[in-house]
């Protein structure tokens, strides 16, 4: 992903007509709501509702949409797509906060690995002490964005309470494969972009559904790069269609209302469907519905500048959580692992500690890293 593709973009390329996404409070709020769902899921309080699973489709769809609009804007204004610059900017966005989190976690494990609170699990009880060598392997795997595959292949060889980082690994792995292809297609075969993205997304979805019913290990399906790519790719398609103006009809009041009800109803139904047993057709249906509904909700919020849903997600609380959602996601599982066994008090404490840790990360690491780089006026927030 280090090559610079500088062939001039055709005039008809999305984004070349000046359409820019800009900052969308409702999308930031959606990110905040998705984090709340992940946190609630990890408390294990509502095991029959898959809040975390549904939130992943929203995160993936949102990230695919935002990253694609950023590349389109860059190409439309500059006449080229500089992947090296994009990757460098994204690394500075992700690496500082991840490095801080992993560093603190390793220090705590090294000093307190035998303490009862460090051996607890989010569901309660003890998971046993963490071997320092396993912890180092876990940190290296997380830093290398390989958590999902090292966990799938069972290469840690011991207790590994950083498994939530599979999500970040999958997201970046998909981009390593998809963004160079996207850039090439935009510059040299524009008409093929959407068909290729749809075909790859459909193949990813189909593979996941097949794996669910052929005895494949469930975590392999849940955290595999190939099986998880669909929502990101469909989010990318939504961005391409939005930039082309092909989805403007969804901005009309009736179409927008029907679309929002459909997307929200689909995600709500998936809360129960995705909690069904892994090999059930109910879960397969929930996986399919959420894969489509997540990206659909994202583009509808962009098109719906007004309305109850947009206003609710644009509230200060959700926007604040959304702006810190990356750090919140990194830290919350650690705090829940250590404190959730204390019951309600422990979960409340974990929420407060997560908010505090994320704020420290935001002010002392993430914001300085953002200010240190040259920012293009075209840059938008990415997933």
Structural domain harbouring 177: 4-372
Shortest CA distance to 227 belongs to which of 170, 278, 271?
170
Read off the pLDDT of residues 271-284 as tens digits, 9 standing for 90 and up: 999 999 988 999 99
Report d(CA 185, CA 374) in Å as an integer. 28
pLDDT at 196: 97
Evaluate whether residue 43 is within a structural domain. Answer: yes
Q: pLDDT 10s digit of each residue in the chain, 383 long?
A: 333 333 333 333 344 344 678 789 999 999 999 999 999 999 999 999 999 999 999 999 999 999 999 888 876 545 577 888 888 888 888 999 999 999 999 999 888 877 777 777 666 666 777 888 889 999 999 999 999 999 999 998 887 788 899 999 999 999 999 999 999 998 888 899 999 999 999 999 999 999 999 989 999 999 999 999 999 999 999 999 999 889 999 888 899 999 999 999 999 999 999 999 988 999 999 999 999 999 999 999 999 877 889 999 999 999 999 999 999 999 999 999 888 888 899 999 999 999 999 999 999 999 888 777 655 444 444 45
User: Which of 267, 291, 346, 334 has the alpha carbon at shortest distance from 37?
Assistant: 267
Token code pair at residue 336 = 């829940």
Q: Is residue 381 assigned to a domain? A: no
Q: How is 341-373 classified by DSSP, letter by letter?
A: GGTHHHHHHHHHHHHHHHHHHIIIIIHHHHHHS
Rounded-to-integer distance, Cα 198 and Cα 67, Å: 17
The number of distinct structural domains making up the chain is: 1
Q: Is 382 within a domain?
A: no
Reduce the DSSP state of residue 306 to 3 states and report it.
coil
CB atoms closer than 10 angstroms to residue 147: 25
Contact status, residue 290 vs residue 270, Cβ threshold 8 Å: yes
**Residue reference for tokens 């669909």:** 230
The SS3 of residue 47 is: coil
Residue 43: DSSP 8-state: T
- Close Cβ partners of 66 (under 8 Å, ≥ 6 residues apart): 21, 27, 239, 380, 381, 382, 383
CB 368 within 8 A of CB 95: no
303 neighbors 254 (Cβ within 8 angstroms): no
Q: Are 193 and 185 in contact (CB under 8 A)?
A: yes
Give the H or E element holding residue 303.
helix 281-303
| Spatial separation of the C-alpha atoms in residues 108 and 42, rounded to whole Å | 21
Q: Is residue 292 part of a domain?
A: yes
Burial of 256 (0-12, 13-18, 19+ CB in 10 A): buried
Position 377 in a domain: no
In a domain, 383, yes or no: no
What pLDDT score does 103 carry?
95
Three-class SS of residue 5? strand
**Residues 6+ positions from 269 with CB-CB distance below 8 Å:** 286, 289
Does residue 378 fall inside a structural domain? no
Pairing of strands 4-5, 81-82: antiparallel
CB atoms within 10 A of CB 24: 19
Q: What is the pLDDT of residues 246-295, one digit of tens each?
A: 999 988 889 999 999 999 999 999 999 999 998 899 999 999 999 999 99
This prediction has a pTM of: 0.90
């Amino acid at each position: 992903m280090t090559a610079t593709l500088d062939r001039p973009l055709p005039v008809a390329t999305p984004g070349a007509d000046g359409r820019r996404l800009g900052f969308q409070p409702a999308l930031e709020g959606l990110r905040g709501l998705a984090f709340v769902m992940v946190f609630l899921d990890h408390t294990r309080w509502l095991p029959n509702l898959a809040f975390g699973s549904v939130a992943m489709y929203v995160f993936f769809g949102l990230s695919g949409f935002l990253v694609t609009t950023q590349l389109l804007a860059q190409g439309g204004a500059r006449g080229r797509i500089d992947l090296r610059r994009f990757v460098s900017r994204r690394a500075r966005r992700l690496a500082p906060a991840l490095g801080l989190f992993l560093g603190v976690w390793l220090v705590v494990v090294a000093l307190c690995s035998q303490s009862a609170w460090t051996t607890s699990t989010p569901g309660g009880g003890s998971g046993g002490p963490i071997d320092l060598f396993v912890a180092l392997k876990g940190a290296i795997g997380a830093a290398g964005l390989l958590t999902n595959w090292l966990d799938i292949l069972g290469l840690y060889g011991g207790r590994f309470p950083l498994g939530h980082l599979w999500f970040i690994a999958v997201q970046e792995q998909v981009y390593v494969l998809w963004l160079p292809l996207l850039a090439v297609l935009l510059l040299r075969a524009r008409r093929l972009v959407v068909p290729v993205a749809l075909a790859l997304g459909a193949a990813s979805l189909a593979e996941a559904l097949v794996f669910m019913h052929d005895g494949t290990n469930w975590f392999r399906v849940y955290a595999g790069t190939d099986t998880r790519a669909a929502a990101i790719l469909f989010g990318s398609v939504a961005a391409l269609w939005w930039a082309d103006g092909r989805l403007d009809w969804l901005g009309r009041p009736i179409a927008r209302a029907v679309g929002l009800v459909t997307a929200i109803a689909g995600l709500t139904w998936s809360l129960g469907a995705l909690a069904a047993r892994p090999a059930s057709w109910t879960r397969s249906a929930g996986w399919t519905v959420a894969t489509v509904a997540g990206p659909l909700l994202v583009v509808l919020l962009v098109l719906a500048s007004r309305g109850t849903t947009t206003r609710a997600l644009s509230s200060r609380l959700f926007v604040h959580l959304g702006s810190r959602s990356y750090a919140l996601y990194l830290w919350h599982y650690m705090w829940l692992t250590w404190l959730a066994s204390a019951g309600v008090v422990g979960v409340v404490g974990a929420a407060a500690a997560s908010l505090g840790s994320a704020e420290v990360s935001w002010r002392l690491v993430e914001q300085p890293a953002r200010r240190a780089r040259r920012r293009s006026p075209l840059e938008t927030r990415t997933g």
